[in-house]
Structure 1
Amino acid sequence: MALLFYISVFVSILVLRYRIATGKRLSVKSDEKGRSYYEGTNIVEAVKSPHSKNRRRSVIDLGLDMGCSAYFRIRRKTLMLRFLQHFGLAQELSDIVSKDLVFIADHPDDLHDLTLNSEVMHAVEKIFSFPETERLICFGSKIWVKLRGIGLEESREKLHESILRNLWEIKRAVEENAARRSENRRFSGARRLPWIMAAHLAMLGCGVLLVLKLITYDTSFLIDPGSLKGASLLLMMVWSVLWLVLLHVLLKRTMWTILALADFFAIGFTGILFLSFLGLYNANIYLPQAAPLPHGAVIAEKRCTISCYATEHHLSGEECGPEDRRRIIIELRKKSRCINQIEHEYSITVVLREYDLPPVRIKIGQEEFDRAEEGGIWEIPVYPGALGRPWFDRADMR
């Protein structure tokens, strides 16, 4: 059940990221003239204001549907600006009212056409003259403006009229550019980027699930985990390099390559880091291998715990004989709530003489605990490992 819960959480995050990135969460509405537009509203946080204690900072998206596909955005400066400018995919808009804006396009030709269009630049200036304007996004057949600020509800009508009017000007210019171009560009990394981001999230999700499995459910014990570090480091480097090459092949020389790289280093690389080691770890355990060989380990210590709710008795091997346990259980059952709620845990600590390892604590059953003696030998079935790294299963020793 826990595994299904984590899978559902990661799938929900993936769907949410895709819907936000592509404008799927916007709903269709109509203005007074019957023209359709997109709108999405989200209250993100409460803000204390000297004028009102209950005012909230809202996020509102306003957009239009276009008759062609285009991919660009206008936003505040980012750390990736230099890289985008190097590829010819970004241009600083220093000649309009807000000098910290950056125009980023899917293709250098689109960037050139739109930034040289005076009507487009005038519409952009009008849109960003509002302090609430955060960014302008065009993805596929949708173009929208993201607004964030206090009191958006009060100025909704004014913002709607001005922003939608200027968006129609930008939309008209984009559609004219698309119709004028004789070449038909079939490639666009914008359609591939969500799938790449999904792959990064899947890497991280699988890695986290393997970590949770190792912490909670895994009963195997790798005798020398350090022997896998070198191989996992090499696998991580090769995997990362091949993935970066694949990103370049899939996204080519576009702005989406830069965005995919940022997503990779923020999310995907962590997933590869987890999967490289844990993938080899699980391959060594679950792939076909020879039968285990018995190994004699020395029993260094015996311990048992008898508990009922907050009452616990931690006993050594000498203190945890059958008569001692019976006496403690009788005392606990005098409490009404402990009649059927008494729990037992038996464990031994063994030393594997052939390996340079610290003592290992193993949970066993009551009968095995009574037969075991401190200083005696405990047979442990050691598997050779599919990758040549020996290991044993704690569950085999109960």
Structure 2
Amino acid sequence: MKKILIIGLVALGTAAGASIMTGRVFQEQFINLEAEFSKDPRLEVLDNTINKGLFSSSGSMTLAMHLEENQRLIIESPWQASHFPGWVNYAGQTLLNLELGSQEVVNLLDEVGLDALQYEGTANWKKADFQMALEPFTFNDANAHLEVSGVNLTGTYHYSGEQMGLLTVTHLAFLEQNAAQTSLDLKGFNLSWNQKGSYPWVQGTADLTAERIYFSNAQQNIELTQPSWKQSLVFNQQAFDYLVSLDMGKVTSQGDELGMGRLTLKTENFDGQAMVDLIEAAAANPNIDRLEEKDLLVMTNAFNRLLSASPVVVLQEFDLDLKAPIIFEQKTTGKLSFDGRNLPTSYLQQIESGGLDADDPINRTRLELNFSQLNPGLLMMIGIPTSMLNTDQAAQQLVFENGMLKLNGNHIPL
């Protein structure tokens, strides 16, 4: 009996110790999150309170996101947690306020008739899972009508820095109640993402899809069926490699099929540190037309470094298949590049001051477009002789180089 009691006490003590340690790991993540948020100049941690306990804890984190005209979006998230051997159950809510300056604060959730957004989740020693679901809601005022239903957000945050999530919206309907009666109807919206790293060096993917997007006004209506948008990013000190792909899906208007379209772009030779400097300078100065001289110098120097790396924007795919008002099919690839080799010091400053030829940026820029075909009628409409076409093959090439525009090697006067 005594042995059983001792074994029970040991098991109880082990479980209690595991609960305490799990709680400590969970609490430490709020300190780590504060450090991560503080690296981003677009965010400011206003408060991070943690009330520590052995078997439960609570706290609140408040972030400010800086917007234009001295406005701030304030995100407040109070939470509570219960600690168990190896895991934590936690729950909380999110409050959203908009500071408009001059002491005016707008409760955004109140504006649309919503209570605080409730969330819950579980966490262990390596990751935390969460989910948030919104009740269907309707918003009305003199100018607009909004209906939203089926909003659900789930995600996983690994303490190593990797995160993934999924946002779904079953239905969203918006009507601008003016003379034009503009409306938007969206069904089956899904946004998923997977990202790892910490600010600013991150990499990951994001995918957005919708079953249907319907837009209409007094003149017309457009419906997109199964449109999608995808992106991938590898962002480090050496490179900013970004790829984005847009698929319009099936496009119809007034019940008639208009066609389909796809576009894919990617970056090459973009200096990562230069991109960070540009992003941070823009974040610190939302009013770009009111830049102070020192901030303008930071952005100009970052642009100089970006250009010196010989950046390229590649058009991997542009496929257009029109059914109306005309039948037209076109596939296009190409690239826009800048030759940054032997770029003079303080390049943009010298261009602006007249120290370098004003045409130098144009002479360093090259645009190449490769068309699956070119319609002779379209060329004639814009004054380009059809004799410039390669009649023995469908593919045609348009090049802008050294300040000159050429079609299949034939100079086109600008």
Q: Fold conserved (TM > 0.5)?
A: no
Higher normalized contact order (CA 8 Å, seq sep 6+, divided by chain length)? 1
Structure of larger gyration radius: 1
The normalised TM-score by structure 1 is 0.23
Structure number with the higher strand fraction is 2
